[in-house]
Amino acid sequence: MLPFARLTIIGTGLIGSSLARAVRAKMPGVTLTGHDLDPDVRARAQALQLFDDIADSAGAAVTDADLVILAVPPLAMSAVADSLAGDLPPDAVISDVGSVKTSVRDALMAALPGPQRIVPAHPVAGTENSGPEAGFAELFDGRWCILTPPDVADPVNVERLAEFWRRLGSEIEIMTAEHHDMVLAVTSHLPHLIAYTIVGTASDVEDVTRSEVIKYSAGGFRDFTRIAASDPTMWRDVFLANKDAVLAMLQRFTEDLTALQRAIRWDDGDTLHRHFSATRDTRRRVIDAGQDTAAPDFGRGPRSA
């Protein structure tokens, strides 16, 4: 039996449209309704035939749902929850896919009746692209989906949502929202901040012209440019919504960077070698855990392009 029969997705961009495609492919019996604030995005989602129905408002989209998933930028969650609160069926489970969990949990709990049906989630899978055309059904295959149910969440609803994500190919982990935000600050948010910084710095360096930066960006810099092309609205929201954890990790990072700077200044090759050997081990552990190749190149375009 399907864990849910009528799914509504609010926000039909990269993640919302990937969800719709994955549900179509893996749970074809589910009725899919979508809504996006942007009429142009709604029209594009309609043209792609991703949903059985596209509604003009969030309220109209949820009236018949048994699962509602918010796939909008983190700081838009609160407004969306407000706009659909009056139309939500009493037993519908409500979740999201936001990259930050504490602020989203608090926003949903404040706006919506029935805290036992709120089960926030974060599929740790994505790309630098945005919009309904960028989505693909395989995005969640073999990737973690972290559930961060508040204490008051009904365990039956938590298990139904876990089963929903398992059927999309994800592996489930359950943790508190606060723990999630601390872990993701170092594994996802800080790396994005570093990429945004290095790409900006390289473009600004006075004695290297912009065209030379692009011309010689075959190696490490090229990988940074992919990450630094990620959606500006989403990432502005991530850093503002997870401010405390990101600032704590940034403090630690700055200290470690200063230690390496010192080692270079004082020709301390041993320190550099020890550090680089340890990070090489970390890379091996990431590969062994299947967390690099599990992120396919679907939707990213050929690496050599």
Ligand X SMILES: O=C(O)C(=O)C[C@]1(C(=O)O)C=C[C@@H](O)C=C1
Ligand Y SMILES: NC(=O)c1ccc[n+]([C@@H]2O[C@H](COP(=O)([O-])OP(=O)(O)OC[C@H]3O[C@@H](n4cnc5c(N)ncnc54)[C@H](O)[C@@H]3O)[C@@H](O)[C@H]2O)c1
Residues found near ligand X in the complex (CB under 6 A): 99, 124-128, 188, 230, 295
What's 113's DSSP letter? S
Q: Judged by CB under 6 A, does residue 11 bind ligand Y?
A: yes
153/176 Cα distance (integer angstroms):
12
Interface residue with ligand Y among 98, 120, 149, 169 (CB under 6 A) is: 98
H/E run at residue 279: helix 269-288
Cβ of residue 128: shortest distance to ligand X, in angstroms? 5
Q: Is the Cβ of residue 128 or residue 159 nearer to ligand X in the bound state?
A: 128
Q: Judged by CB under 6 A, does residue 149 bind ligand Y?
A: no
- The CB density around residue 143, as the number of other CB atoms within 10 Å, is 21
Q: Is the Cβ of residue 4 or residue 239 nearer to ligand Y in the bound state?
A: 239
Position 258, amino acid = T
In what order do the strands lie in the sheet containing 31-35? 53-54, 31-35, 6-10, 67-70, 93-96
Q: Judged by CB under 6 A, does residue 107 bind ligand Y?
A: no
Of 65-73, 85-93, 151-159, 194-202, the window that binds ligand Y (rule: CB under 6 A) is 65-73
Q: Is the Cβ of residue 212 or residue 297 nearer to ligand Y in the bound state?
A: 297
Among 258, 106, 126, residue whose Cα is nearest residue 192 = 126
| 153 touches 127 (CB < 8 A) | no
Please report, for residues 101, 102, 103, 181, 186, the alpha-carbon distance to residue 242 in angstroms, rounded to integers and kept in the order given: 8, 8, 8, 7, 11
Q: Judged by CB under 6 A, does residue 76 bind ligand Y?
A: yes
What does DSSP say about strands 67-70 and 93-96: parallel, antiparallel, or unpaired?
parallel
CB-facing half-sphere around the CA of 257: CA atoms within 13 A: 7
Picked from ligand Y, ligand X, none, the partner binding residue 34 (CB below 5 to 8 A depending on kind) is none
Binders of ligand Y among residues 230 to 269 (CB under 6 A) are: 231, 234
Q: Is the Cβ of residue 47 or residue 208 nearer to ligand Y in the bound state?
A: 47
Q: Judged by CB under 6 A, does residue 93 bind ligand Y?
A: no
Q: Judged by CB under 6 A, does residue 170 bind ligand Y?
A: no
Q: Which residues sit at the interface with ligand Y, rule CB under 6 A? A: 10-16, 36-38, 41, 71-74, 76, 79-80, 97-99, 123, 126-127, 130-131, 231, 234
